[in-house]
Amino acid sequence: MRRKVTVIGAGMVGRTVAQEVARRDYADVVIVDIVENLPQGIALDINQAGPVLGYEANVVGSNGYEETAGSSVVVVTAGVPRKPGMSRDDLVTTNEKIVGSVTEQAIAHSPDATLIVVSNPLDAMCHVAKNVSGFPKERVFGQAGILDTARFRTFIARETKSSVKDVQALVLGGHGDQMVSVVSATTVGGVPVTKLVSRDRIEEIVERTAKGGGEVVDLLGTSAWYAPGAATAQMVHAVMLDEKRVLPCTAYLEGEYGVDGLYMGVPVKLGAGGIEEVVELELTEDEQTQLQESADAVREVVGVLSS
């Protein structure tokens, strides 16, 4: 019998994750959403793409959690986007209730699952999922760094007229304007980016990366979904296939990088056990300072949580 991946939330990110996992053909997928008929329709559509794309995964849509029982990985994308006039505190309070509720229902049916959180504000919602589930920190983590790094890599590749496959980079810290693009660890085909791109231009790219989500919102009128969905699916693959990938994820830190008791984006080794190792890079003094500033910003958001 195939293993199972559950995606909670049938919005654009959730359905992209479901499609990408189905296409890899190693697990069945359950999509859960409170909107009647929506997850069922998406599941049917993804199933009917199987004969064309050559996968056998069975995708099921549900408005409840019974179908999710025994899931190996649960991806939480549920929550409301920030609307005009909504304060950050309002968003935290609203999504805390939603993420808390769906986490509680999901773990009741899949007590051994690994939880991957995508809902925003990401860093705070990871705290919610960890507190509600009671799971060890290794099995509760969030997707942000892969997306932010993908944006940074895209811009560097375009600037240097290189293949994105040859650009290696990391973006750490909170998922917001104070994310830290680690320029000292950025290379193109093994060559440091500082030898290929001027310092001023690099700073412009770093700034564009930090505001990458907002740029998409300005163009589309809504949040991105292809890149976030693909980034989340990469994390699912790493866990389900025990790939031992080193990827930037939002992990609970207990002293690493000088940060304690906080979810932050850092490079980790992802495998069947979830986060199997936090990889500590040697940052420049400036990058370490930026990371601490990012941690302070995350603590402020987390401080809005009711528990």
109, 127, 175, 237: the catalytic one is 175
What is d(CA 177, CA 231) in angstroms, rounded to the nearest whole number? 19
Confirm whether 175 is a catalytic residue.
yes
Burial status of residue 222 (CB atoms within 10 A of its CB: 0-12, 13-18, 19 or more)? exposed
Closest alpha carbon to 10 in 56, 73, 75, 68: 75
Alpha helices in 241-284 (DSSP H): none
**Cα pseudo-dihedral 285, 153, 229, 68, rounded to 10:** -50
**Could you tell me if 100 and 71 are in contact, meaning their C-beta atoms sit under 8 angstroms apart?**
no
From the list 229, 209, 271, the residue with the least C-alpha distance to 246 is 271
Q: How far apart are CA 233 and CA 122, in angstroms?
A: 16
Contact 93, 304 (CB under 8 A): yes
Give yes or no for a contact between 147 and 167, defined as CB atoms under 8 angstroms apart: no
Residues 6+ apart with CB under 8 A from 282: none
Cis peptide bond N-terminal to 136, omega within 30 = no
- What is the torsional sign of CA 139, 144, 147, 152? negative
Known catalytic residues are 175
